[in-house]
């Protein structure tokens, strides 16, 4: 039987016309995992899954047990699904035993063998799959292919995604799984709207992990009001939620408050404080030292309360997000006349 492309496999799954034997290989683990879950959901019901879903691993499961299972008839259902992760890890004897039993798998069974690496058709199992089943290779899209992948994923969910919006999403996600999850969340956010734009992505917000808060935190350490306002605005324009910025503020001021305690109450020197806070890099130590000089003890004591209050005002709708962030930044960083740093 010929190899299948992943989109051809999707047609098999949607139609329910799934054969008895598949081998998934290729470098993209999440796409393989998703395809397996779709097969399970298509062939088994919640009631029959407990009886007719068998999962094994080539690192620990003996081939004889798998062979016995694939020949077993389903119980209280029409199909049995057998999944073998890391099937390429079987030893030579186990691979030979499995290969010899791939020709006459009952049509009621759907056996899915997963290879962590690329399958070689000269190997026994892939060679038998090529003759009696389907080989499906899952590739990770190249970076320049990701926006089209996101657009296709959105189209399959019944909506359209503009290319700039797709590019922004792709740049903000670390892998396909996160990208797919963000698409799902975006579709829930827009509701009945059928076409998704850059504005929708920004309004919904990007994954918190997509943003780099380093420049914002640097401005906070240095009490650089203009820089902090600018960095906060840039992050909001990227689609980062305002609430996702507050942990950056809390990290800086909590660390400074603790450092001031060590400095004034315990009378520790800076090297001892660095060690207690786990600060080993010269850059981080320099920013922390600057922060201690830039804020007074009184300012540090009330800083965390101001951050919590602003968070509450946003959640209750008392203040708009951008306004609240700007007011908080100015309140924390604007130097008070006559203030003394201690």
CATH C-level class of 211-333? mainly alpha
pLDDT at 236: 84
In angstroms, rounded to a whole number, what is the distance separating the alpha carbons of residues 238 and 21? 45
Per-domain boundaries in the chain? 6-137, 143-208, 211-333
Residues 6+ apart with CB under 8 A from 92: none
CA distances from 342 to 223, 264, 292 (A): 15, 9, 8
CB contact at 8 A, 76 and 51:
yes
Determine what percent of the chain falls in helix, strand and coil, rounding each to the nearest 5: 60, 10, 30
Q: Which superfamily, per CATH, for 6-137?
A: P-loop containing nucleotide triphosphate hydrolases (3.40.50.300)
pLDDT at 209: 52
**If DSSP codes are grouped into helix, strand and coil, which group holds residue 204?**
helix
Q: Would you put residue 26 in left (φ > 0), alpha (ψ -120 to 50) or beta?
A: left
pLDDT at 339: 52
In angstroms, rounded to a whole number, what is the distance separating the alpha carbons of residues 8 and 4? 6
Q: Check whether 121 has a pLDDT greater than 90.
A: no
The whole-model pTM stands at 0.61
User: What average pLDDT is seen over the chain?
Assistant: 89
Tell me: the pLDDT tens digits for 85-98?
999 999 999 999 99
* pLDDT confidence bin for 118, thresholds 50/70/90: confident
pLDDT at 172: 78
Fold held by 143-208? Helicase, Ruva Protein; domain 3 (1.10.8)
In angstroms, rounded to a whole number, what is the distance separating the alpha carbons of residues 46 and 109? 17
Of the listed ranges 105-109, 200-204, 230-234, the one predicted with least confidence: 200-204
Q: Check whether 268 has a pLDDT greater than 80.
A: yes
């Amino acid at each position: 039987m010929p190899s299948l492309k992943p989109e051809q496999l999707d047609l098999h799954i949607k139609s329910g016309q799934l054969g008895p034997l598949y081998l998934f290989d290729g470098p993209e683990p999440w796409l393989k995992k998703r395809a397996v879950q779709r097969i399970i959901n298509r062939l088994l019901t919640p009631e029959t899954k407990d009886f007719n879903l068998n999962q094994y691993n080539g690192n620990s499961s003996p081939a004889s047990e798998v062979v016995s299972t694939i020949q077993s008839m389903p119980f209280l259902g029409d199909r049995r699904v057998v999944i073998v992760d890391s099937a390429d890890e079987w030893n030579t004897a186990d691979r030979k035993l499995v290969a010899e039993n791939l020709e006459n798998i009952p049509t009621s069974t759907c056996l899915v063998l997963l290879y962590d690496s690329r399958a070689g058709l000269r190997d026994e199992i892939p060679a038998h799959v090529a003759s009696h089943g389907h080989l499906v290779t899952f590739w990770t899209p190249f970076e320049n292919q990701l926006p089209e992948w996101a657009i296709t994923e959105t189209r399959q969910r019944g909506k359209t995604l503009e290319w700039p919006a797709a590019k922004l999403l792709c740049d903000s996600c670390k892998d396909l799984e996160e990208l797919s999850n963000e698409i799902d969340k975006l579709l829930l956010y827009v509701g009945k709207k059928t076409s998704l734009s850059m504005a929708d992505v920004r309004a919904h917000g990007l994954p918190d992990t997509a943003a780099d808060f380093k420049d914002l935190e640097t401005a906070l350490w240095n009490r650089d009001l203009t820089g902090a306002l600018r960095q906060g605005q840039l992050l909001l324009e990227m689609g980062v939620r305002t609430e996702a910025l507050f942990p950056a503020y809390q990290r800086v001021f909590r660390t400074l408050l603790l450092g001031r305690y060590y400095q004034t109450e315990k009378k520790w020197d800076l090297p001892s404080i660095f060690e207690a806070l786990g600060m080993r890099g010269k850059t981080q130590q320099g920013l922390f030292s600057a922060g201690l000089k830039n804020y007074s003890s009184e300012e540090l004591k009330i800083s965390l309360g101001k951050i919590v209050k602003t968070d509450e005002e946003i959640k209750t709708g008392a203040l708009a997000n951008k306004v609240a962030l700007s007011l908080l930044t100015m309140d924390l960083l604007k130097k008070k006349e006559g203030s003394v740093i201690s």
